Chains A and B, each alone.
Chain A
């Protein structure tokens, strides 16, 4: 990878997929229509918690255009199972986590506003929606509980019979005794109470499903907005029981963003697929935005107490963390893993942390299910570590960059085993910090602060030196931790006789640019012009089984599978080339699509080899025709992207408005295939992190359990004028254990940004506040700080 080839690895190739997206020719789910399709609308619970004493669907059934109305009884009668959670967590006491039933349509009870009660199918969307209002559900309201602390307190309303006290699990990790010992000998302890606010992922394309049953082949096809169509097929087949796996085809076409929320198997897609076979017509459902707020899996929602033990020089002796995690009303597909193995295993940060002990109590509430959202556990961990480190620096009067420097794992200490089961593979944390300090002009900050002060403004600087575990994940490792699946990836490189290439990948692009990045890898390695390479994904009918895209895994795992397939192509190609050049295989060398015989001028191109493979008139006797190789790659370890983000803010104490005046991000993603795409991923991640810290919050009314932030009128999405431009750079310590040396870049921004921004705001204010730092909250804090100063 020393030189960058045109359109090869390292080049900022403009995206192949953009042509269709920019001209209106993308095919998102709602753009697809099938002959004779009917439309579905879901009847949803208006109550947060209620018993269903009866459902009268007669009026709806006789409404104009209505084809069918189904309830949970109908699903049960057909033997359709509930939705599952695919990761088992073992509590401190050795018991498995509580896994109450999660019926796709309610059975006797509803547990959050928006819970699915019935499906109405009609000739038009309007008719379905009108008729849904006519389904008469006899609800007996029960008291709801929406906050996790309340739900886990004695006497809280009981949500599931199977989960006494609303507890799902009470889990721990780390060494309690060693941590207690560290605290006993500490000269200073910093303590922090932290709320990690609940977020709604909000990809701009709402979820949708379109199902079609073909009685001739007994094939059920589900078009759905999925980040992982094979995983959806596996769950819908093996656990829900919709159809045998080979009789179920799941297609995820162009998908308009996911951020985690389209990983999961939801009630709507499940019921729509079942109903299409039931009524023998295609059924389409498109989510409205308010439905998305109510029913898409939410993210975060932790309440944490953290304590950091330090010696008098600011070295980190121990970290103690106690977190309560809100999982919502039911367990979403990977919900249990997020506040445990994706969270507490990253509490070590970038530091030599003497000892760590973390406990997580997760429970049920009358709110939408909570699962992975961009970063999934790792933003929560970074927020705990980087807030408390910054707080400790202030307590001990050590500059924040200095306290980090004293504790960073040094570059020669890798592989580095943490007290919370991770083995970091590579990194150079001080390098990223130094570069970030230079870019933000750390030295000039005091002068800038004084200048702000002269204008009556408060200036603050905040750091986040984050680490994440990406490239999810080694199958044996996650299996031992409770995962129900393996987390390898597949790739297929299929040469066509004329020398063009079709790549199939089991990962899935919903904005990340696989069609370009994956083509770059093959172009670079096999010398095929990028315009002659197509990348196909998202269809279980055509693509080898793959695990999909989440956890910044596509390139580290899917790209590695692609490299393995490329290697197989080269290996076979050498045999064919040797035959064509009448040379011994061991004398054939390959470089960028040209096979040559060492020490001669003989050479054949990849295109000639491909042609010979498909028209094998002159071909090795013992070799199969064709040039089409599939590979599976199971990673040896997670990858550990890390870096430093610094936010600089100016706060107006008169209005509480926070201006982000500068943002520097220095990330180590290992090797980079397409720097343009990587930068874009970082920008988007930072924007979502800033959204969490400054604007976004999901609010349920504590009395009624109603979602008060269920539209863009109430839930503050970051808009162009809320955000600055970002100063984004990288460092590179290549990943030592995958063939591309890549680490993953999709989540870094969302992981680093909240801590960096809140550290900057609290630096400016001199007092702690929780996210989101709305003008009201900031104004109140500024007023109280000024009042205190005046005393």
Chain B
């Protein structure tokens, strides 16, 4: 069994794992960070999106061994000193979530989006979130939340 070592939410973790273990399963099962959700089998829904070295990645598309040495951030690692990340706060303020299942992945994708498009218009936000499926909100308030977070972070 190979050993993987990575930094997850600022903490170094190491484990011996079955080489076929997906990064999504490693996070959920080995690290018990269950905020990262699994919503499909085909890397379509985006519920498992996390940040790997700062980039949004669907964690079901990566083997855990591929993340060896990487810096990983999950939804649990966003808040600082009990203060939600501006993107999390914007989702709450603009009711960008209902059942909450797609939300962690959506927030992660949105953070990556704003990093690449500091001042996105509605069309850009919609196009960039195309990899994350939400069945509850119709995306209307998600788009508002992302725009507000971008504005708040000085986009």
Give chain A's interface residues, CB within 8 Å of chain B: 14-15, 17-28, 30-31, 202-206, 254-257, 259, 288-290, 510-513, 676-677, 679-681, 683-688, 711-713, 717-721, 723, 725-726, 749
Is the beta-carbon distance between B143 and A725 smaller than 8 angstroms? yes
Q: In chain B, residues 70-122, which have Cβ atoms closer than 8 Å to a Cβ of chain A?
A: 74-76, 78-79, 84, 88, 91-93, 95, 97-104, 107, 122
* Chain A to chain B contacts (Cβ below 8 Å), 25 pairs: A18-B92, A22-B103, A22-B107, A23-B35, A23-B75, A23-B88, A24-B34, A24-B35, A24-B36, A26-B100, A204-B45, A204-B101, A204-B134, A205-B39, A679-B141, A680-B95, A680-B136, A680-B137, A681-B98, A684-B136, A687-B139, A711-B42, A719-B139, A720-B142, A723-B138
Please name all residues of chain A whose beta carbon is closer than 8 Å to the beta carbon of B92 when the two chains form the complex.
Answer: 14-15, 18-19, 22
In the A-B complex, the 4 residue pairs with the smallest Cβ-Cβ separation, listed nearest first, are A24-B35, A21-B100, A256-B101, A687-B138
Q: Contacts A26-B100, A676-B95, A720-B125: A204 and B38 contacting too (C-beta < 8 A)?
A: no
Of B33, B38, B133, the contact of A24 (CB 8 Å cutoff): B33
Please name all residues of chain B whose beta carbon is closer than 8 Å to the beta carbon of A713 when the two chains form the complex.
Answer: 42, 44
**Minimal beta-carbon separation of B130 from chain A (angstroms):** 5
Q: Provide the main secondary structure of the chain A interface.
A: loop
Is the beta-carbon distance between B99 and A205 smaller than 8 angstroms? yes
Is the beta-carbon distance between A289 and B41 smaller than 8 angstroms? yes
Is the beta-carbon distance between A22 and B91 smaller than 8 angstroms? yes
Please name all residues of chain B whose beta carbon is closer than 8 Å to the beta carbon of A681 when the two chains form the complex.
Answer: 98
Is the beta-carbon distance between A513 and B36 smaller than 8 angstroms? no
Cα distance, A360 to B75, chains bound together (Å) = 49
Is the beta-carbon distance between A721 and B37 smaller than 8 angstroms? no
Q: Quick one: closest A residue to B21, CB to CB?
A: A126
Cα distance, A31 to B78, chains bound together (Å) = 19
Cα distance, A717 to B102, chains bound together (Å) = 14
Cα distance, A687 to B107, chains bound together (Å) = 20
Is the beta-carbon distance between A683 and B141 smaller than 8 angstroms? yes
Q: Provide the main secondary structure of the chain B interface.
A: loop
Please name all residues of chain B whose beta carbon is closer than 8 Å to the beta carbon of A20 when the two chains form the complex.
Answer: 100
Cα distance, A679 to B137, chains bound together (Å) = 9
Please name all residues of chain A whose beta carbon is closer than 8 Å to the beta carbon of B36 when the two chains form the complex.
Answer: 24
Of A17, A24, A31, A289, the contact of B42 (CB 8 Å cutoff): A289
Give chain B's interface residues, CB within 8 Å of chain A: 28, 33-42, 44-45, 47, 74-76, 78-79, 84, 88, 91-93, 95, 97-104, 107, 122-123, 125-127, 129-130, 132-143
Is the beta-carbon distance between A23 and B42 smaller than 8 angstroms? no
Please name all residues of chain A whose beta carbon is closer than 8 Å to the beta carbon of B101 when the two chains form the complex.
Answer: 26, 28, 203-205, 256-257
Is the beta-carbon distance between B130 and A721 smaller than 8 angstroms? yes
Is the beta-carbon distance between B143 and A22 smaller than 8 angstroms? no
Q: Quick one: closest B residue to A19, CB to CB?
A: B92
Please name all residues of chain B whose beta carbon is closer than 8 Å to the beta carbon of A679 when the two chains form the complex.
Answer: 95, 141
Cα distance, A521 to B79, chains bound together (Å) = 31
Please name all residues of chain B whose beta carbon is closer than 8 Å to the beta carbon of A676 when the two chains form the complex.
Answer: 95
Is the beta-carbon distance between A18 and B138 smaller than 8 angstroms? no
Cα distance, A654 to B130, chains bound together (Å) = 24
Please name all residues of chain A whose beta carbon is closer than 8 Å to the beta carbon of B84 when the two chains form the complex.
Answer: 19, 22-23
Is the beta-carbon distance between B99 and A203 smaller than 8 angstroms? yes
Q: Quick one: closest B residue to A510, CB to CB?
A: B99
Please name all residues of chain B whose beta carbon is closer than 8 Å to the beta carbon of A14 when the two chains form the complex.
Answer: 92-93, 95
**Minimal beta-carbon separation of B91 from chain A (angstroms):** 6
Cα distance, A761 to B106, chains bound together (Å) = 31
Extra pairs beyond A17-B100, A24-B36, A255-B99 (13, CB < 8 Å): A15-B95, A22-B88, A22-B92, A22-B100, A23-B35, A203-B101, A204-B47, A204-B134, A205-B101, A683-B138, A683-B139, A723-B139, A725-B143
Is the beta-carbon distance between A257 and B127 smaller than 8 angstroms? no
Of A23, A206, A687, A726, the contact of B79 (CB 8 Å cutoff): A23
Cα distance, A512 to B102, chains bound together (Å) = 15
**Minimal beta-carbon separation of A749 from chain B (angstroms):** 8
Most buried by A among B103, B122, B140: B140
**Minimal beta-carbon separation of B60 from chain A (angstroms):** 11
Cα distance, A686 to B141, chains bound together (Å) = 13
Please name all residues of chain B whose beta carbon is closer than 8 Å to the beta carbon of A687 when the two chains form the complex.
Answer: 137-140
Of B78, B138, B143, the contact of A686 (CB 8 Å cutoff): B138
Please name all residues of chain B whose beta carbon is closer than 8 Å to the beta carbon of A17 when the two chains form the complex.
Answer: 100
Please name all residues of chain B whose beta carbon is closer than 8 Å to the beta carbon of A510 when the two chains form the complex.
Answer: 99
Please name all residues of chain A whose beta carbon is closer than 8 Å to the beta carbon of B102 when the two chains form the complex.
Answer: 204, 256
Cα distance, A24 to B107, chains bound together (Å) = 11
**Minimal beta-carbon separation of B151 from chain A (angstroms):** 16
Q: Contacts A22-B97, A677-B95, A720-B139: A30 and B41 contacting too (C-beta < 8 A)?
A: no
Cα distance, A687 to B143, chains bound together (Å) = 14
Cα distance, A259 to B136, chains bound together (Å) = 9
